[in-house]
Amino acid sequence: MPYLFTSESVSEGHPDKVADQISDALIDNFLAIDPNSKVACETLVTTGQVVLAGEVKSKAYLDVQDIARDVIRKIGYTKSEYMFEANSCGILSAIHEQSSDINQGVDRKKKEEQGAGDQGMMFGYASNETDDYMPLALDLAHKLLIELAALRRENKQIKYLRPDAKSQVTLEYDDNNKPVRIDAIVVSTQHDDFDTDAKMQEKIKKDIINILIPRVKAKYKKYSSLFNDKIKYHINPTGKFVIGGPHGDTGLTGRKIIVDTYGGKGAHGGGAFSGKDPSKVDRSAAYATRHIAKNLVAAGVCDEVLVQVSYAIGVAQPTSINVNTYGTAKVKMSDGEIAKLVEGIFDMRPYFIEQRLKLRNPIYSETAAYGHMGRKNEVVEKTFKGPDGKAFKKKVELFTWEKLDYVPKVKKAFKLK
C-alpha cells in the first residue's frame, strides 16, 4: 500500500545551526593549529548574546570571540534590527581544560590503541534513492534551503529574506518503496516587515512557488516528474515570520541531529556531532558507518543499508557491528554474514577511523549546516589565524566519508563483478 514519508531541514540562520557553526568553527581553528587538540565545545545563542562552554586540551590559544563573530557575520546576521548582530552581540566564554579522567581513557602510548572517547552506538545509512545515496525527502529539504540562502545573498529576485528558515518535504512512495510524487512542501522563511500581514504572506508564497521551486526542480532532472500541480504548499503558515533567529528562539549546539543525518530514515544513536573533535566516536564513527553504508550500496551489495557500531569508553575495539539491508541484499548472505565481512574490510578502531577519513584536519565548519552526509567530497584551501596573529592557509579534503574509495575492496570481498 502506498505511504507518505516526511523529512525536514533548517537553514544556516536557524538558531540551533548558528550554535553548531560556531562550535565547529572553534574545532577547526583548534585543529588547524594543533591537530592533536581534544575539544568538546557547546554554544548557546539568544537575543544579543552568545555563550561558549566546554572542555579543551590543546596547545592552541584562540580568540574565540573573533571566531564566533566571523561565523555570525558570514551567516548574515549583520543588521541591528535582527536583535542578534555579529559586531554588537555579547560573547561569554566558559571553556576550560578537559578532564584528565576522560583523557586517560583516550590517549595511549601506542596510537593504534587509542580508546573511544565515549560509550554509545552510532549509525550510518545509505540508499540508492538519489545519486548521492541519500533519502530523497531530506535531500530535497536541504536543497530548498540552500537555494533560498542563495536567493537571499543574491538579493535580486527576492529582496526581503532574512537568515532564519525551515523546510519540510513529504513524499508518496509506492509498494516497491519508490518515490512517485511530492505530496507537500513546507517553507517557513524569516523576512523583513514590508506590508500588511496578509499581503506579505501572499507575496512570499508567490515568490517561493514561482522563483524558489523552479530553481530546485532544475537540479532534480531525474525526479522532475515528482513536482506536480497537486503539491500542497504551506508557505509561512503562521502568516508572519519577522522575529526569528536567536532573538526569536534560543539556539543550542546539537539539537538538529536528524537534520544532520538522514531525516528520520534509518536510525540515530542520539549523539550530536558539532563541537566534538574526532576522538569522540559520536562523530567519527557516525562518519565511518556512513562511509561503510555508501560503499556497500555503491558496490551493489544491497539497495539500502543501515550500519550500526557501538563502543565502550576507553576501549579501542567496537563492542558490536551490525548490518541491516532491509531485505534488499543482492548477495546470498545473511545480514550477520555481511556484517562479519564488513568487520574485516573496515577497521573501526578510533585511531584507524581518524587516519582513514583524515579527521584530524580542520574540515568541520562545512558540515555544520545542510547536513553532514550526502555532501560533495572536494579539496579546498582554508585560511586561519595563528597565535602570532598572522594568517596561514591550509589545504584540506572535505567530506572524506562520502568517497567511494572502498568499492573495489567491497566487491572483492563479496565476490562481485
Give the residue ranges of the annotated binding site for L-methionine. Answer: 55, 98, 249, 280
Q: Which residues are CB-neighbours of 396 under 8 A, at least 6 positions away?
A: 358, 361, 362, 363, 379, 380, 381, 382
Helices marked H in 162-217: 197-207, 213-217
**Separation of CA 107 from chain center:** 27
Q: Give the chain's length.
A: 417
- Residues making up the annotated binding site for ATP are 14, 164-166, 240-241, 249, 255-256, 272, 276
- Residues making up the annotated binding site for Mg(2+) are 16
Q: What is the spatial distance between Cα 368 and Cα 274, in angstroms, rounded to a whole number?
A: 7
Residue 235 main-chain phi, psi, to 5 deg: -105, 120
The answer to whether the beta carbons of residues 236 and 205 sit under 8 Å apart is yes
Q: What is the spatial distance between Cα 123 and Cα 176, in angstroms, rounded to a whole number?
A: 24
- Residues making up the annotated binding site for K(+) are 42
- Residues making up the annotated binding site are 14, 16, 42, 55, 98, 164-166, 240-241, 249, 255-256, 272, 276, 280
Burial of residue 272 (CB within 10 Å: 0-12, 13-18, 19+) is buried
Residue 329 main-chain phi, psi, to 5 deg: -60, 140
Where residue 125 falls (left for φ over 0; alpha for ψ -120 to 50; beta otherwise) is beta
Q: At what angle do helices 15-33 and 64-75 cross, to 10 degrees?
A: 130
Q: Which one-letter amino acid corresponds to residue 233?
A: Y
CA-to-CA dists, residue 8 to 34, 144, 169, angstroms: 36, 10, 6
